[in-house]
Amino acid sequence: MSGPLVVLVGPMGVGKSTVGLLLAERLGTGYRDTDDDIVAEQGRSIAEIFVDEGEDAFRAIEKQAVARALTEHTGVLSLGGGAVLDADTRALLAGQRVLYLSMDVEEAVRRTGLGVARPLLAVNPRKQWRELMDARRHLYEGVATAVVATDGRTAEEVARVALDALELKDA
Ligand SMILES: Nc1ncnc2c1ncn2[C@@H]1O[C@H](COP(=O)(O)OP(=O)(O)OP(=O)(O)O)[C@@H](O)[C@H]1O
Ligand SMILES: O=C(O)C1=C[C@@H](O)[C@@H](O)[C@H](O)C1
Ligand SMILES: [Mg+2]
């Protein structure tokens, strides 16, 4: 299987970056995040891209960034929360080891509620979260080869459970 050792998917704030870094450390490999790639390449924040050009333009940029990272990166790769909306991206994920990190709405509000720049949750986060998850849950589940619930677990616990679920061993 070529491509990343593990690809992390899941909604905003679920812990992809935190857990992804821990997994990379435990697996003795590198960490990469397509949101970071986009910010570096574009020289502006994701919120700025949404405001300047709208969501469709962001999704087109994201699709290219994900395709590139899937080809180039061999370590742990986190995708932006909405990357799975794209059918071509979902097709590229077939045959990859994909971890879906999940959480319920109250955990989501606790983790994303305060002042972080997340353009899709700017107004009425609880309602928007539910709508996002109603639209996306099946997409995350569809690409996943393992699912780990993060509610009530520390990031370290999530990483440990994830390694078991993925049948991967520490380096
Ligand atoms: N298992 C956990 N339990 C409690 N808090 C956590 C856990 N994992 C991450 N967090 C906290 O939740 C917040 C969001 O985590 P993180 O940035 O890793 O999520 P993300 O999925 O990468 O989000 P984004 O959509 O912004 O990329 C951070 O403040 C982080 O410290
Ligand atoms: O869930 C989403 O649609 C998003 C999640 C973030 O990772 C960013 O990619 C952006 O804010 C959009
Ligand atoms: Mg992140």
102-120 confidence digits (pLDDT tens) = 999 888 877 766 445 565 6
16-47 confidence digits (pLDDT tens) = 999 999 999 999 999 999 999 999 999 999 99
11 within a domain of the structure (yes/no): yes
How many domains would you assign to the chain?
A: 1
Residue-number span of the structural domain to which 140 is assigned: 6-166
pLDDT in the model for residue 124: 74
CATH code (residue 105) = 3.40.50.300
Tell me the best of 35, 56, 89 to mutate to test the pocket of ligand 2, counting ligand atoms within 8 Å of each CB and taking the most: 35
Report whether residue 15 contacts ligand 2, using a CB cutoff of 6 Å.
Answer: no
Q: Would the ipTM clear 0.90, i.e. be above it? A: yes
62 within a domain of the structure (yes/no): yes
1 within a domain of the structure (yes/no): no
Report whether residue 7 contacts ligand 2, using a CB cutoff of 6 Å.
Answer: no
User: Is 3 one of the annotated binding-site residues?
Assistant: no
Report whether residue 12 contacts ligand 2, using a CB cutoff of 6 Å.
Answer: yes
* Other Cβ atoms closer than 10 A to 47: 16
The three-class DSSP label of residue 73 is coil
Mark the ranges of the chain whose per-residue pLDDT is less than 50: 114-115
145 CA distance to ligand 2 centroid (A)?
Answer: 21
171 within a domain of the structure (yes/no): no
